[in-house]
Amino acid sequence: MSRRTVLSVLLALVLAVLTWFNTTYTAAALGGAQPSLNQPAPEFTLPTNSGDGEISLSDYRGKWVVLYFYPKDFTSGCTLEARRFQQDLAKYAAKNAQILGVSRDDITSHAEFCDSEGLKYPLLADTAGNVSKAYGSLLGPMSLRHTYLIDPDGILREIFLGVRPAIHSAEVLARLDELQSANS
């Protein structure tokens, strides 16, 4: 086997163990303390492969934000999760919601991943891990698979831990529906 294949297999095993661990134990034990619900979401500015080159959370005041953290571009679970969000992009737009993906990969990797998968939403490069840490989603060299729903006023309304990529977008849409219905 090539070195790249061995590394890919090892990464897949690590991600599988982390996913199992994350669904079995509390998030505080894996990735750090979570930000508080119903409080302002941690602000950030990160480089992106799209638009003007940087995105801040405050850029989306007046919109719901689906902020999802994921471990690595081009891995199977991350690709599946990204595809599902892309498939549902029109549904999110109809709900006044913006999807933002975050990982520790750089903007070049994100650009290649977006091109390869046809992703039409921004991916943010948290190469130093500071934003992942602020959201309790940092484990060593990667971000954990966590998602945060932030309301139009910048208030954190929902946290998803133990994410299952195949059904996650549908779960987020359903919860977004509930939150929007409760506020109308």
The answer to whether residue 114 is catalytic is no
Per-residue pLDDT, 20: 46
The pLDDT value recorded for residue 3 is: 66
Domain that holds residue 88: 3-182
Q: Rounded to the nearest 5 degrees, what angle is found at the Cα of 107, between the Cα atoms of 21 and 152?
A: 70
Average pLDDT, the chain: 88
Q: What's 153's domain CATH number? A: 3.40.30.10
For the residues 119-142, what does the mean pLDDT come to? 95
pLDDT tens digits, 150-175 = 999 999 999 999 899 999 999 999 99
For residue 13, pLDDT beyond 80: no
Q: How far apart are alpha carbons 171 and 25 in whole angstroms?
A: 20
For residue 137, give the nearest of 96, 103, 89, 172 by alpha carbon: 103
Q: Using CA atoms, how far apart are residues 90 and 27, in angstroms rounded to an integer?
A: 31
Beta strand 64-69 with 54-56 is: unpaired
pLDDT tens track for 58-81? 999 999 999 999 999 999 999 999
**Mean pLDDT, residues 102-129 taken together:** 95
If you write DSSP's letter for every residue of the chain in order, what string do you get?
--HHHHHHHHHHHHHHHHHHHHHHS-GGGTTSPPPPTTSBPPP-EEEBSSTTSEEEGGGGTTSEEEEEE-S-TTSHHHHHHHHHHHHTHHHHHHTTEEEEEEESS-HHHHHHHHHHHT--S-EEE-TT-HHHHHTT-EETTEE-S-EEEE-TTSBEEEEE-S--TTTHHHHHHHHHHHHHHHT-
Q: Is the pLDDT of residue 37 over 80?
A: yes
Number of structural domains in the chain: 1
Annotated catalytic residue, options 67, 78, 119, 125: 78
pLDDT grade for 4, boundaries at 50, 70 and 90: low
Whether 44 contacts 134, CB under 8 Å: yes
Q: Is the pTM of this model over 0.95?
A: no
